[in-house]
Structure 1
Amino acid sequence: MEARDLMTADVETVHQDDEISDVLQQLASRDFTGFPVVDDEDRLLGVVTQRDFVELFQPKSHTVWIPIGLPPFLETLDYGFDLSWNELETELDLARNASKPVKTIMTEDVLTVEPDADVDDVLAILAADERDVNRVPVVEDDVIVGIVTRQDVLRALHEERSG
């Protein structure tokens, strides 16, 4: 089984210059959690996900990590306290960032496969803990030709083993 057998060929993408507010609205009306970001020639430049929007509206600089050590524990535990997360600040962040291009918040280092990649190559990306990837773009000559999701792989493996 290859990536081309699993992928959805009709991929919904966003353009690198689309405004953050427009992409956020598109994302809110979809059943998935991110978009591949492309240029004018449909070359894959990155991905933008719900996580990117969360980080945009809850900057790490507002979180204070405090080590707390209580007996009988030998090591301290770090607890994060958000000092500024409130409705007004969220609205100000949205207003400040709404018209910026989505390329300013996208993840550029995207793990991809080619159409002839083996299902094990796709699984290796989806199963890796460090990146928590939910979808793998399928590219040919840097142009996105499809996308494989965790659900696609699970469905195909289930059908293969039960059929």
Structure 2
Amino acid sequence: MNAREIMTRDVETVSPDDDVGEVLGRLARADFNGFPVTEDGIVVGIVTQGDLVDLFQPSGRTLWIPVGFPPFLESLTYAVDISWDKLDFGIDIARNAGRPVSDVMTEDVVTVGPKADIDELLDLLADEGQDINRLPVVDEAGALLGIIARQDLLRAIKLERDGE
């Protein structure tokens, strides 16, 4: 099996110019926790919930991040320690309103080609030093072809072991 056989082809992406609030709202409704950032189909970064939560300077209690504009009908919940006396949440929201994803995305994205085998994928997704949860699959020019999440790889390994 290789990356082309395992990857999800229909990938939701964001643009470097997208507003962090909008992206956080999309993540609140998604079944995953990160988006490849693309420009003209080329992968230029990756943004995760963790990247966006860092904007609110979390440090132990529970943090609810309102999504969208008032009235906040949705929220993301994170079990983090907040120093409430040092954090004026309203100011953080206002300060980050309109901020582009390019300000918080990871630019040095680990990607794989469509022919990458299971061992290469496993090495990357199991590397504790990198802590990668998803691998964009790109062609030689860096154009996004698909994405492989850890769960996709685990499912593929199980299917291979089961002989399917």
For each residue in 1:91-127, what CA deviation from the matched residue of structure 2 results, as whole angstroms up to 9, or x when unmatched? 2112111201111000111110001111111111100
Alpha-carbon distance change, 86 to 2 in structure 1, aligned in 2, over 3 angstroms: farther
Instruction: Measure how far apart 1:56 and its partner are.
Output: 1.2
Separation in 2, partners of 1:6, 1:86:
47
Segments of 5+ residues of structure 1 without an aligned counterpart are: 61-81
Alpha-carbon distance change, 146 to 101 in structure 1, aligned in 2, over 3 angstroms: same
Report the counterpart of residue 16 of structure 2 in structure 1: 16
Alpha-carbon distance change, 151 to 83 in structure 1, aligned in 2, over 3 angstroms: closer
Instruction: Measure how far apart 1:131 and its partner are.
Output: 1.9
In our comparison, the structure showing a higher alpha carbon Rg is 1
Larger fraction in helix: 1
Q: In the alignment, residue 123 of structure 1 is paired with which amino acid?
A: L
Instruction: Measure how far apart 1:15 and its partner are.
Output: 0.6
Is the aligned partner of 1:96 residue 2:70?
no
Q: In the alignment, residue 133 of structure 1 is paired with which amino acid?
A: I
Is the aligned partner of 1:132 residue 2:131?
yes
Instruction: Measure how far apart 1:22 and its partner are.
Output: 0.6
Instruction: Point out 4+ residue stretches in structure 1 off by more than 3 angstroms.
Output: 82-88
- Assess if the C-alpha contact under 8 Å between 2:58 and 2:82 holds in 1: no
CA RMSD across the alignment: 1.8
Alpha-carbon distance change, 86 to 28 in structure 1, aligned in 2, over 3 angstroms: farther
Instruction: Measure how far apart 1:85 and its partner are.
Output: 3.8
Report the counterpart of residue 26 of structure 1 in structure 2: 26
- TM-score for both structures, normalised by structure 2: 0.80
Q: Secondary structure at the residue paired with 1:14? A: coil
Alpha-carbon distance change, 123 to 83 in structure 1, aligned in 2, over 3 angstroms: closer
Separation in 1, partners of 2:13, 2:86:
30
Instruction: Measure how far apart 1:11 and its partner are.
Output: 0.5
Segments of 5+ residues of structure 2 without an aligned counterpart are: 60-80
Instruction: Measure how far apart 1:84 and its partner are.
Output: 3.9
Q: In the alignment, residue 12 of structure 1 is paired with which amino acid?
A: E
Q: In the alignment, residue 34 of structure 1 is paired with which amino acid?
A: G
